[in-house]
Amino acid sequence: HWDFGGSTVIASDFIRLTPDSQSHRGAVWCKIPVRMRHWEVQMHFRVHGSSGNLFGDGIAFWYIDPAVSKFNGPVFGMQDKFRGLGVLLDTYSNHNGPHSHDHPYISAMVNNGSLAYDHDRDGTHSQLDGCTARFRNRDHDTLLSIRYVNNALLVATDIENKQIWQPCFRVPNVKLPTHFVFGVSAMTGDLSDNHDLLSVKVYEIEPKEPLEDNIGVDYRTIEPSADSAEPPRPHVDSQADSGWSFLRIFLLVLFCAIGLVTLLVLGLVYHTRQQRNKKRFY
């Protein structure tokens, strides 16, 4: 009951959405629409790579319209301007303009198809809420819980190997329709990581205080929306002469250093040969 595409590779005990190499996108999607109004998803995942300082881009959980094109998009491997919910686990800070959090960073976004995800601003112009979570390169299990109960979205993590859910954030007044589908995607760009999915467990939740049912309401037709989101922060346009990333600057310095060493070696060899030629005339 699942479909997959992009760079996704199915192994015996996990699914690798992207390898630790540049410019890959992968995703898996459940084919069965979710008919439950209240649910919880527990995602067992692993993000790891050989780099200690530069890595990216991240992995994401989705609850979206099944009509959306789900493969090979620019938002962590999924298409932009989606309809539904995205919980985004962003490992690289583009940091266009100031923000107060570190990466890796988990945030949520609800979209009715009109909003674009801005990678330069790490999506913070459209997020509902978020938290820092250092889930990368752990030598134990890392898990994410997404609960949608009574129009409230609750996200929690278990990344400290304590088998205890630690709250990440809670957002009230989130409206999501039924009959959307679950999915997980990941992406690498100039920077990379292995993004692995080990399991996805789905539970139906019985609310302790159920909302009053609206008789005659078709919950399949509810438009995805949320009453609150963080205010936008300015987008800082990159200048033509300052658009260098840290990685490009590092590579430029590295190539210059290699070129300088090469010139020094060639100069030393030339000087040695000249000295030998002079000795022949004595």
Is the pLDDT score of 238 beyond 50?
no
CA distance 22 to 92: 14
CA distance 96 to 137: 25
pLDDT at 143: 97
pLDDT at 50: 83
Residue 205's nearest CA partner among 147, 256, 264, 164 is 147
**Residues facing 142 on adjacent strands:** 45
Residue 187's nearest CA partner among 54, 20, 9, 26 is 26
- pLDDT tens digits for 106-146? 999 999 988 888 766 666 677 888 899 899 989 999 999 99
Give the residue-averaged pLDDT of 59-71. Answer: 87
CA distance 244 to 250: 10
Give the residue-averaged pLDDT of 88-108. Answer: 75
Q: Which residue has the tokens 């609960």?
A: 147
- pLDDT tens digits for 12-64? 999 999 999 999 999 999 999 999 999 999 999 999 988 777 787 899 999 99
pLDDT at 267: 76
Are 7 and 24 contacting, i.e. CB atoms less than 8 angstroms apart? yes
